[in-house]
């Protein structure tokens, strides 16, 4: 008896999807049937299964072919969408009609002769599949074939002309490498060096693009540097005439029902370059016999809510800005100067309205009770951090000498108690140096240095934190809306990355334990006085979440506080003004309360978080440009520094003396190919094993410093660690590879897979 031929089992839906997913391109029913050896009846069943998968959104299809919905064609039109935490460009497909999220796309660096891409650019790109992310989403690397023409837009740049009819515009955006031809001056008569805004004209696919001048932003010179950041970030500068008039018409607030604190020696303590004074402080021993060693503190904050009422013109303008923006040579205030430097500034020896927090703490710094009042104060002195610290250290000057009998000692006495509470809570202790640009009256850079930080800085910080906590507690008690300042704990992904890094430097870290801020302090303590201390401090910082404004409270991880808001700076932060209004309403303190029909706090919080990040970016951009101006006079000089960033395109180095930053491009590190290990924050030479690591001390030569773009480029002169060469799979190291860190297209994605494994978009 003949044996009937065996029938091949029909594949499961998962097997069909896996086959389609693993195929290099689109496949049809014929290819699927052939792969699984299906007979005629099974082919009919396959047709029904494919139809069902398509309807469920698990397949995409045209008339004849099928593909994984997350699959991208070999050549795709992409739009650059943003940056990841390492500064790599992310992109998304312009056309994406599937139900599933689009894949993660990383843009490969621009090749020689290509213009660097920026957010919003559209390109035709060749796609290369790399390993999936931790959540299973497919990941690609996009290699630019050509940049696509964009609609006419604006460009900010410096005008220069060497002869009549021959004018050029050099963009302030460091990504734009080519100049523009000025073919139309419009109504302007610009001079060389003027900062102007121009409209990019359509057409001219080959050669330089043409522009028409639209606006003169500022004249030539260092004073234009901040204006570049202001215009690049669209920071609102001009107030409406109505807002300016309202600020001008403001008058002295009457005592009325306010508590009269004018006889108390409250003082302001700020930096030498402070432009507004919105907080004054006072402390005295608590006279309550049940609180031995305790203190009574007063933090009096400018009563901005008295002058800026909900929905008036000043309020609209303040909300639009969200916060003041501080540059080395100027400030763009949230409120007009008639208020911010006038009635709302707690000037010495002048009466000023405030909302004051009376707070009582025990000898361990615990907040026992508190109350908020509207008050009138008369600041006894406008002092600086340096003056207060110098006086505390035993060398008072004329201004601070009268304060040495009780004022300054009491402030430090209360601070010592608050410090005990800070240590008990386990606040995250990160040393974050701040660059200070030293300017003359014409905004010429005299130097760049790391801003000094004294115990007096920490004193004010602790007083302000206490007042912020008291404000949040009060609003909760009186069931008022609160704009919390929240700081989430690090994500699981960041904790895993941190553990991988700490393992590489032999510091144990159990990721299964409860994550608290104090845990990171233990890590920093273990690393102290070791060669890796700077590096570990940087990595711990990068593992932290970003603080934001939100009406839903999750606490503040970094400060180890259950509830926290911003109350102490209403002149320069709109969030603080909201808290003041809520306190006025909740405590029945009179005029200017939060309205019943106030806007959605969730929407407001998102807006304020965005304006805060935008302002921080503008401030950082300006500092970068001023630092580049300072370094431009030192081209060719070799200076010590430290690696503060490791990316696949190079090393960021911070100079030891000035704190100025710059990039060492990977192509300048020699003929070896350097592999970026994200987990250990290193670049390691494949052929030589030579390694550069985050935190390494190095020496670099300044080879380029451009104040216009803020770009500074270094050349590595010494530093790094020698190591063993890494052999290629299947043979000896290739000592003829002269890629200088640029890997051949066919192998780049594969070798970068390890770095990207575990990262979500």
Q: In the predicted model, is pLDDT for residue 137 greater than 80?
A: no
Give the pLDDT band (50/70/90) at residue 70.
low
Query: What sign for the dihedral angle of Cα 366, 369, 375, 378?
Result: negative
- Residue, of 44 and 745, whose pLDDT is higher: 44
601 phi-psi bin (left φ>0, alpha ψ -120 to 50, beta other): alpha
Q: Which residues contact 155 (CB under 8 A, 6 or more apart)?
A: 169, 171, 173, 176, 180, 197, 198, 199, 200, 211
Give the tens place of pLDDT for each residue, 654-703.
888 878 889 999 988 988 889 888 878 889 998 899 999 888 899 999 99
Where is mean pLDDT largest: 49-58, 619-628, 746-755? 619-628
Enumerate the β-bridge partners of residue 702. Answer: 714
Asked if residue 281 lies in contact with residue 269, where contact means CB atoms within 8 angstroms, the answer is yes
Position 258 scores a pLDDT of: 97
Enumerate the β-bridge partners of residue 260. Answer: 376
Give the tens place of pLDDT for each residue, 539-549.
888 888 889 99
Is 2.40.50.700 the CATH number for 154-220?
A: yes
Q: Do the domains at 13-67 and 154-220 have one common CATH topology? A: no
C-alpha–C-alpha distance, residues 518 and 537, integer Å: 14
Q: Write down the pTM of the prediction.
A: 0.74
CATH of domain 624-756: 2.40.50.140
Task: Determine the distance from the C-alpha atom of residue 571 to the mean position of all C-alpha atoms in its chain, rounded to a whole number.
Answer: 22
Q: In what order do the strands lie in the sheet with 27-28?
A: 27-28, 65-67, 60-61
Short-list 619, 607, 553, CA closest to 575 = 607
Q: Looking up tokens 């522009």, which residue turns up?
A: 211
Lowest mean pLDDT, pick from 147-161, 560-574, 648-662, 734-748: 734-748
Query: What sign for the dihedral angle of Cα 126, 129, 132, 137?
Result: positive
Short-list 498, 430, 422, CA closest to 459 = 422
DSSP 342: I
- DSSP labels, 684-748: EETTT--EEETT-EEEEEEEEEETTTTEEEEEEEEE-B--PPPPPTTSS--TT---TT---HHHH
Number of helical H runs and strand E runs in the chain: 17, 34
C-alpha–C-alpha distance, residues 267 and 282, integer Å: 7
- What CATH fold (topology level) applies to the domain 13-67? Arc Repressor Mutant, subunit A (1.10.10)
- Any idea where the domains of the chain sit in the sequence? 13-67, 154-220, 241-462+567-583, 492-542, 624-756
Q: What are the Cα distances from residue 62, in Å, to 97, 347, 502, 573, 653?
A: 13, 72, 49, 54, 51
What does residue 123 show for φ and ψ, rounded to 5 degrees?
A: -140, 155
Q: Which residues contact 218 (CB under 8 A, 6 or more apart)?
A: 194, 195, 224, 227
Mean pLDDT for 233-239 is 88
């Amino acid at each position: 008896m003949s044996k009937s031929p065996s029938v091949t089992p029909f594949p499961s839906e998962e097997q069909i999807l896996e086959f389609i997913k693993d195929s290099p391109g689109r496949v049809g029913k014929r290819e699927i049937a052939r792969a699984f050896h299906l007979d005629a009846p099974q082919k009919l069943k396959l047709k029904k299964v494919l139809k069902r998968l398509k309807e469920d959104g698990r397949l995409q299809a045209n008339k004849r072919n099928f593909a994984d919905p997350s699959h991208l064609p070999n050549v795709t039109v992409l739009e650059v969408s943003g940056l990841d935490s390492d500064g790599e460009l992310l992109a998304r497909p312009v056309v994406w009609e599937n139900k599933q999220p689009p894949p993660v796309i990383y843009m490969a660096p621009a090749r020689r002769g290509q213009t660097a891409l920026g957010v919003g650019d559209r390109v035709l790109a060749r796609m290369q599949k790399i390993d999936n992310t931790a959540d299973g989403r497919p990941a690609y690397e996009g290699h630019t074939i050509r940049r696509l023409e964009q609609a006419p837009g604006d460009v900010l740049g410096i005008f220069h002309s060497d002869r009549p009819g021959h004018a050029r515009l050099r963009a302030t955006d460091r990504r734009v490498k080519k100049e523009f031809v000025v073919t139309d001056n419009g109504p302007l008569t610009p001079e060389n060096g003027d900062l102007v805004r121009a409209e990019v004209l359509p057409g001219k696919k080959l050669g330089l693009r043409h522009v028409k001048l639209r606006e003169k932003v500022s004249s030539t010179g260092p004073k234009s540097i901040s204006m570049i950041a202001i215009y690049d970030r669209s920071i609102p500068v001009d107030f409406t005439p109505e807002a300016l008039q309202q600020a001008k018409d403001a008058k002295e607030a009457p005592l009325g029902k306010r508590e009269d604190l004018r006889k108390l020696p409250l003082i302001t303590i700020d930096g030498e370059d402070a432009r507004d004074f919105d907080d004054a402080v006072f402390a005295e021993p608590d006279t309550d016999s049940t609180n031995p060693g305790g203190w009574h503190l007063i933090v009096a904050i400018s009563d901005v809510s008295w002058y800026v009422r909900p929905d008036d013109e000043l309020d609209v303008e303040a909300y639009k800005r969200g916060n003041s923006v501080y540059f080395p040579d100027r400030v763009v205030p949230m409120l007009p100067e008639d208020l911010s430097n006038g009635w709302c500034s707690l000037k010495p020896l002048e009466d000023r309205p405030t909302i004051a927090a009376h707070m009582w703490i025990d000898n361990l710094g615990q907040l026992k009770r508190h109350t908020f009042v509207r008050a009138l104060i008369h600041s006894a002195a406008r002092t600086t951090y340096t003056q207060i610290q110098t006086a505390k250290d035993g060398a008072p000057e004329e201004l601070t000498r009268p304060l040495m009998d009780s004022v300054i000692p009491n402030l430090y006495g209360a601070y010592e108690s608050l410090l005990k509470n800070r240590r008990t809570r386990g606040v995250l202790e990160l040393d974050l140096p701040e660059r200070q640009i030293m300017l003359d009256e014409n905004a010429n850079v005299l130097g760049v240095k790391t801003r000094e930080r004294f115990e007096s800085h920490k004193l004010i910080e602790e007083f302000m934190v206490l007042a912020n906590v008291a404000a949040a507690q009060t609003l909760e008690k009186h069931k008022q809306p609160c704009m919390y300042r929240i700081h989430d704990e690090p994500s699981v992904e960041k904790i895993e990355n941190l553990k991988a890094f700490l393992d590489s430097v032999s510091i144990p870290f159990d990721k299964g334990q409860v994550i608290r801020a104090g845990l990171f302090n233990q890590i920093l303590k273990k690393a102290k006085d070791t060669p890796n201390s700077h590096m570990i401090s940087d990595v711990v910082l990068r593992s932290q979440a970003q603080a934001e404004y939100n009406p839903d409270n999750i606490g503040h991880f970094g400060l180890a506080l259950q509830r926290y808001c911003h109350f102490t700076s209403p002149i320069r932060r709109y969030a603080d003004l909201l808290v003041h209004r809520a306190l006025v309403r909740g405590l029945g303190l009179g005029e200017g309360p939060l309205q019943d029909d106030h806007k959605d706090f969730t929407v407001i919080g998102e807006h304020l978080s965005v304006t805060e990040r935008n302002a921080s970016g503008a401030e950082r951009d300006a500092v970068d440009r001023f630092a580049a101006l300072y370094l431009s006079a030192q081209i060719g000089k070799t200076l010590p520094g430290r690696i503060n960033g490791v990316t696949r395109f190079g090393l960021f180095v911070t100079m030891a003396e000035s704190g100025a930053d710059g990039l060492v491009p990977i192509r300048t590190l020699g003929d070896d190919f350097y592999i970026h290990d994200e987990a250990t924050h290193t670049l390691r030479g494949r052929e030589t094993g030579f390694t550069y690591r985050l935190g390494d001390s190095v020496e670099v030569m300044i080879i380029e410093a451009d104040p216009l773009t803020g770009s500074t480029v270094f050349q590595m002169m010494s530093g790094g660690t020698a190591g063993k060469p890494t052999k290629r799979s299947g043979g000896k190291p290739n000592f003829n590879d002269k890629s200088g860190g640029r890997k051949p297209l066919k192998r780049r994605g594969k070798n970068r897979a390890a770095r990207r494994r575990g990262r979500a978009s």
